[in-house]
Amino acid sequence: MGYFDDDYQPSRKPKNRQWMVSVLAGIVIGVIVVLVALPTILNSNLLPQAWTEQFSTANGDGEISRSPGAGEFMNVDISTQITEVVENVAPAVVGVINIQHQGNFWEQQENQQEAGTGSGVIYKKNNGYAYVITNHHVIEGADEVEVVLSDGTHISAEVIGSDLFSDLAVLRMDEKMVKQIIEMGSSANVKVGEPAIAIGNPLGMMFSGSVTQGVISGKQRTIPQDFNQDGRPDWQAEVIQTDAAINPGNSGGALINLSGQLIGINSMKINQATVEGIGFAIPVDSAKPIIDELEQSGKVTRPYMGVEIYSLEEIPQTEWDESLKLPKDVDSGVYIWSVESRSPADKAGLDRLDVITAIDGKEVNNIIELRKILYHEKEVGDNLKVTFYRDGKQHETTIKLSEQR
């Protein structure tokens, strides 16, 4: 009764005092009855569901709990879930150090120099070895590569294979010190707006194991890549877009979902002062066949058409009529911007501004669908039947695929 005594102001009339004491006693008894009976009432179906959710939405730990049915309670704490996921996954995310030798002509000796750092993901252990996936640009030009585990242990690693076009590389090292490998997920099941977590080593090993959180901002993005810096794209990289912070040193790190599964390999960001929160990761479904081939042969052999192509959706529809002269019933496909001389496409008669709408009878809506057919279903030496439009008329030709040069 201390709370009420503190606020109570005594009256000069004894009769009023007795009346107030009776009221207060009734209030206290009523509160006790409600507290005792409330759990039973909430677990019954006597109250509307909205009422039961209001009564059970908060507790002292900041958790949200509600009662979907009689006797059944469910607690949800997103922050706790993220910390648990990160704790499980973090040991599988490593640092990768690119070491290059620099010779000294006058002293006739070589000096080792750290040329760059990045991140990697341990995805497999087999026959005494642990395997790490990272970016090609992280280990490019390396004479030696070191992997730094989450506990700071440095392990010498061997580059098994690396691929410029996919920007992926596979490393192999002794598995003795490796305690955790990551669980592979699927990028095909990723939805725009769902949470995503990036783990890596931004700005070198000083901030190793850094975690950033965001959402999936977009799927099936294509980013032009100019490897020889001649101003013309050499490749169209298929990526997942996220607003989880990806900074220098994060390259090769893990993009994971709330189940702790790998859905992407962090690869790049748009580096412009006016742009913020646009980072990219290589979808794990695209990476898996590349990883397997790098493990087995050390390189990726791709069928080669010899064309620079873009999706129709990337240009205004007014150009579909004026420049490409497409019929009204053609609403998707890829157009050829250039054809390399003496390439398979050149030999098959394809030309600039031809619009490819089908391959081997399968409809092609964009560059990603074309690439999936070309790289997942075809091999070097196979024939490829191409349906295309030129000057408003449909044509067909057959390309004999050669190896990517």
What is the set of active-site residues?
137, 167, 251
User: What does the block give as tokens for 196?
Assistant: 């995503």
DSSP state of 380: T
β-pair partners for 268: 280
Distance CA 372, CA 238 (A): 11
Distance CA 282, CA 63 (A): 35
- CB atoms closer than 10 angstroms to residue 312: 22
Phi, psi of 281 (to 5 degrees): -135, 145
Q: Is 106 helix (H, G, I), strand (E, B) or coil?
A: coil
Q: What ranges in 179-249 are assigned the alpha helix state H?
A: none
Distance CA 236, CA 168 (A): 15
Q: Is 267 helix (H, G, I), strand (E, B) or coil?
A: strand
DSSP state of 334: E
Q: Is 99 helix (H, G, I), strand (E, B) or coil?
A: strand
